Amino acid sequence: MRPGRTQPLTLTRRALGTRLAGAAAAIGFGNGAAASTMATPAPVLDPDLRDAALRGLALAGYRGDPVTAAAANATIERLSQTDPEGALLARLYQMLDVRPAQYWPEDVPEAAAADLATLHAAIRACQPVSFGYTDLSGNETARTVLPLALVHPPQGVKLLAWCAEREDFRQFFVRAVSGLTPRPGNFSEDRLALLQGLLEKEAGRA
């Protein structure tokens, strides 16, 4: 472990092997393009614009236009070569951002804007967070997690994360967290592998 870096959360042996294998395969796609020293560097896309574009691609299948949906799927497939993380996020959004916001039931409690801002920043910085959580049965627990993405199912905004206490991926309603606090650390080197593992778990639910 390098000086100044916090100890990473421990993954199960099976989960870690799957995630690292997926990360290595995804990273390998770009090696050929990187070999050309004469290539013009691609412009850096604003993170908010990138995320909005990924969510737009993910929702193409809900527009009643199979041609648009097929074009979106082809675009996501091409992203696996140029932006592996973006491709994984788009697939997760396809599975879990199941409806646009205007279709949410009106009686669903809203997530706190301050908590959403904190989580967006922590996801972007690959920074762990801790919080208290009250589940649907009223049970309260303390959690420390690696935040990976926010999704928007009809029931309310959810955080997708790797949970240290459960040593597995978990989903948390943002409205049910309390005392949300960023923690020291940076898991950027593990983010791609974690997203790959998360996608595999969600695909297994389908």
N- to C-terminal Cα separation, the chain: 37
Domain presence at residue 8: no
Domains contained in the chain, number: 2
Q: How confident is the model at residue 141 (pLDDT cuts 50, 70, 90)?
A: very high
Shared domain check, 109 and 89: no
Q: How confident is the model at residue 17 (pLDDT cuts 50, 70, 90)?
A: very low
DSSP conformation letters of 17-76: HHHHHHHHHHHHTTHHHHT-TTSPPPPPPPHHHHHHHHHHHHGGGGSS-HHHHHHHHHHH
Domain presence at residue 68: yes
Domain containing residue 135: 103-205
Last residue within a domain, chosen from 81, 101, 121: 101
pTM of the model: 0.75
| Adjacent-strand bridge partners of 133 | 141, 177
CA distances from residue 191 to 70, 88, 138, 146, 170 in whole angstroms, order as listed? 28, 11, 31, 9, 15
Burial class (CB in 10 A: 0-12, 13-18, 19+), 194: buried
Domain presence at residue 193: yes
pLDDT at 55: 92
Whether residue 27 is predicted with pLDDT greater than 80 in this model: the reply is: no
Shared domain check, 110 and 97: no
Shared domain check, 178 and 188: yes
Domain presence at residue 73: yes
Domain presence at residue 42: yes
More confident residue, 156 or 7: 156
pLDDT at 104: 55
Shared domain check, 133 and 48: no
What whole-number distance in Å separates Cα of residue 124 and Cα of residue 148? Answer: 9
CATH assignment at residue 192: 2.30.30.100
| Tens digit of each residue's pLDDT (9 = 90 or more) over 64-91 | 889 999 999 999 999 999 999 999 999 9
| Adjacent-strand bridge partners of 151 | 158
| Tens digit of each residue's pLDDT (9 = 90 or more) over 172-189 | 999 999 999 999 999 999
